[in-house]
Structure 1
Amino acid sequence: MNDTQAKYPQLRFKGFADPWEQCKLGDVAKITMGQSPNSKNYTDNPKDHILVQGNADMKDGQVHPRIWTTEITKIADKGDLILSVRAPVGDIGKTSYDVVIGRGVAAIKGNEFIFQLLKRMKTVGYWTKYSTGSTFESINSLEINNAVINLPKEHEQNKVGKILSYMDHAITLHEEKKRQLERLKSALLQKMFADKNGYPAVRFEGFSDEWEERKLSDLFIKGGSGGTPKSTNKDFYDGDIPFLGISDITKSNGFINNTEKHISSDGLNSSAAWIVSKGAISLAMYASVGKLAILNIDAATSQAFYNMIFDDYDLRDLVYQRLNKANELSEWNKLISTGTQSNLNADKVKNFQMYLPKNHDEIKLISTFFKKIDNAIALHQRKLDLLKEQKKGFLQKMFV
């Protein structure tokens, strides 16, 4: 420990006032660099030794067995920390098993505080200085052992590690609940919409009529693709009209509340773009083909989208879910034009066929049911975003 470099965190638990002291990671934690077994000894037999070669063998901060080996080279014990030493450098996880470690990882015997500290080091880009400029991004034993860290006394380490571990548990819980809801929705999309036989496998009680085949263009009151200003004139993009692009829809969770780009009235008038009203469905025809979202704002869009305005929101919501099913089942792939970039065109979107209920009460029941699932998924996502932001703040303020 080096008293001359003692420091204090911005945020800490009541009752702690001692300075944190600087040291090297290798001085406080045993580090074992991995060594890959011969590939001829790899197996898919769970009775053999679990092999951890890199980040692909970890998920959500935990080792997930993927490959096994009959050859033991270097090992990590149950409870050890696993650090990725090759691209992506610095990812950190734990192992709940005794495992063989390959050259893409290192095993570290450390407590929860060290685990959270290593997470922070990845977040702040600590390892970047060692891997930048390399042909192959990696860190070595010397760099890991000599990594400079700051530590409090053991009791404070335990307190900090415990609160951050609790937050990780809450994040994992919400992620799993969100995944379960998404899997449930995916299964129900397959069961609650009719295929060519005209009858869904699962439906609400009291409905038995055959569904009818409808063309998408017959369901909305206005539709059309967008457009892009005819030049890169700065004035065309220096405006307050939201302008939807592919990056917006790929990051959305089914709803567009804002956009990365905006255009001016002059930009709008110099293109085929038009103001698509709030509540419309926008469907990607290029790049992320089939990805769609409901606009929660008035916005113009690029020509990469086909936009649909409905006067019946129950019908809109049902169509939205049916198009989600089309996206999940890659139904659009049968219609795309192949070239330098796979894409749809407006005619193929308008002529897309689907089976829908004749009875509006059934339409409303199904659309409301899926909306409740979407709302539950969105709630878990909001909680996740909040927890992750809080955790990020704690990692910034509770460490030196």
Structure 2
Amino acid sequence: MNKILHHKTPKLRFPGFNDEWDVKKLGDLLEIKSASRVHKNEWTKSGVPFFRSSDVVAIFKRKVNVKAYISQALFEKLTLKSGSIKKGDILITGGGSIGIPYLVKSNRPLYFKDADLLWAKQSDHFNPFFLFIFFTSPKFRRYLNSISHIGTIKHYTIEQAKATPIAFPTLLEQQKIAGFLKGVDDKIAGLQRKKELLEKYKKGIMQKIFSQELRFPGFTEPWQEKKLGSVLVKNKLRNKYQAISYVQSVSNRQGFVSQADYFEGANIASKNTSNYFVIRKGTFAYNPSRIDVGSLAYKSEEEDSIVSPLYVTFTAKAEVKDKFLFDWFSSAKFMRQMHHSFEGSVRNTLSYEALAKMTIMIPGKEEQQKIAEFLTGIDEKIKREERKLEQVKQFKKALLQQMFV
């Protein structure tokens, strides 16, 4: 048996359960198979959902993606050959981001792409949610790494799935574990929904503010339309004498981050950083080829850093408050202009020159301050929910480490 599973009892158990867990290969406990081939020209825009690995990954990460379907007639023809998916079955990604599970929650018609996904049929040996959680556990992730010669593998095959070792207790203990962890998952989902609702609320309220549909009491002065370039100052300060060694990157969601952390310890900075831009408190930066996915940051920390010369960096003049401008970059007004200002035939790129030609409506400084304070209040609520969410996720991670063998 695989050396990773040499312990037969977990560190953390519910009272009353003392027996050792059994250890077997998945293929000895349940049927693992694939689907019949479906060609892309047989996909439709509606009908029976047709899952690919991208669909399973999107559901697992609570993301939205473009769905695919097949006709009811094709579905009935295929299920005569391969059988139909039932509630409690699990689909597992076999390509791309491998080993990601999806627990089938109903008997509604569903089909999937062969090779992309593996089909683990429900078995009397397992509580379905227990098996689903196994596929998310650190134990299983380590096993995936262990069967790779280069640290990662591009495919998780049916034969590899059948050979996967699993330690499991009685159905009664499985049910206890599954029920408890389902409660933790429900808590995570609830916090995620609350965070998403706050983000949606902020997005909606920002559109009303920046379109002047909503204004705070006491402010009636008309906003002034200006070219963005007239209120920005392009940053030209370079790390000429290489006096600054702290290299940062711009992430899509976290703003400025340590480059070493962002690239998991890899040092991708040039040995000579004399042409890197110096980033001081109050500086904006964006990746001109990734600004459309949120790669824009504002430096609020005191510590100076440097970024690659590939970034566009600038500061705002005194007439526009930094927070007002930073939130404006997330508004529909900016997004529309950005998409009309892209350059490049292969990849959308936004140069500083194109940015400077955009227009922005600017209120008086007192109204800017009021807007900034209001939106900051929403940001703080979102951050509180993010912290709660991260705490529960870490709690679940610790549980998975100790509740599975």
Superposition TM-score tier, normalisation by shorter sequence:
0.7 to 0.9
Deviation readout 1:104-147 (Å, 9 max, x if unpaired):
331431422111112226862434566778xx944444433332
- In the other structure, the counterpart of 2:247 is 243
Aligned: 1:18 with 2:19:
yes
Are the equivalent residues in 1 in contact too, given 2:56–2:102 (CA < 8 A)?
no
- In the other structure, the counterpart of 1:377 is 382
Aligned: 1:224 with 2:235:
yes
Instruction: Give, in whole Å, the separation in 2 of the partners of 1:51 and 1:256.
Output: 39
- In the other structure, the counterpart of 1:87 is 96
Aligned residues: 372
Are the equivalent residues in 2 in contact too, given 1:181–1:377 (CA < 8 A)?
yes
Are the equivalent residues in 2 in contact too, given 1:63–1:96 (CA < 8 A)?
no
Deviation readout 1:200-253 (Å, 9 max, x if unpaired):
122223433321123445546x651454679xxxxx5xx8743222xxx22543
- In the other structure, the counterpart of 1:113 is 130
Instruction: Give, in whole Å, the separation in 2 of the partners of 1:57 and 1:9.
Output: 29
Aligned: 1:294 with 2:298:
yes
Are the equivalent residues in 2 in contact too, given 1:87–1:138 (CA < 8 A)?
yes
Instruction: Give, in whole Å, the separation in 2 of the partners of 1:179 and 1:389.
Output: 19
Instruction: Give, in whole Å, the separation in 2 of the partners of 1:42 and 1:150.
Output: 39
Instruction: Give, in whole Å, the separation in 1 of the partners of 2:57 and 2:247.
Output: 38
Q: Quick check: which one's strand share is greater?
A: 1
Are the equivalent residues in 1 in contact too, given 2:247–2:306 (CA < 8 A)?
yes
- In the other structure, the counterpart of 1:197 is none
Q: 1:146 aligns with which of 163, 167, 189?
A: 163
Are the equivalent residues in 1 in contact too, given 2:8–2:20 (CA < 8 A)?
yes
Are the equivalent residues in 2 in contact too, given 1:216–1:350 (CA < 8 A)?
yes
The percentage of aligned residue pairs carrying the same residue is: 21
Q: 2:280 aligns with which of 277, 282, 285?
A: 277
Instruction: Give, in whole Å, the separation in 2 of the partners of 1:44 and 1:78.
Output: 24
> After superposition, where does 1:65-214 map in structure 2 within 5 Å?
66-70=68-72, 71-72=75-76, 73=79, 74-98=83-107, 99-102=109-112, 103=114, 104-105=116-117, 106-109=119-122, 110-111=126-127, 112-120=129-137, 124-127=141-144, 137-194=154-211, 200-214=212-226
Q: 1:322 aligns with which of 322, 328, 331?
A: 328
Instruction: Give, in whole Å, the separation in 1 of the partners of 2:237 and 2:336.
Output: 23
How far did 1:343 drift?
Answer: 4.2
Question: What are structure 2's unaligned runs of at least 5 residues?
Answer: 262-266
Question: What are structure 1's unaligned runs of at least 5 residues?
Answer: 195-199, 231-235
Deviation readout 1:128-181 (Å, 9 max, x if unpaired):
566778xx9444444333321111222322222222222221222222222222
Are the equivalent residues in 2 in contact too, given 1:79–1:95 (CA < 8 A)?
yes
TM-score (norm 1): 0.77
How far did 1:287 drift?
Answer: 2.8
TM-score (norm 2): 0.76
How far did 1:184 drift?
Answer: 2.3
- In the other structure, the counterpart of 1:386 is 391
* SS across alignment from 2:166: strand
Are the equivalent residues in 1 in contact too, given 2:184–2:396 (CA < 8 A)?
yes
Instruction: Give, in whole Å, the separation in 1 of the partners of 2:40 and 2:349.
Output: 41
Are the equivalent residues in 1 in contact too, given 2:43–2:68 (CA < 8 A)?
no
Instruction: Give, in whole Å, the separation in 2 of the partners of 1:43 and 1:219.
Output: 50
- AA aligned to 1:88 is S
- In the other structure, the counterpart of 1:33 is 34
Are the equivalent residues in 1 in contact too, given 2:93–2:100 (CA < 8 A)?
yes
Instruction: Give, in whole Å, the separation in 2 of the partners of 1:57 and 1:263.
Output: 32
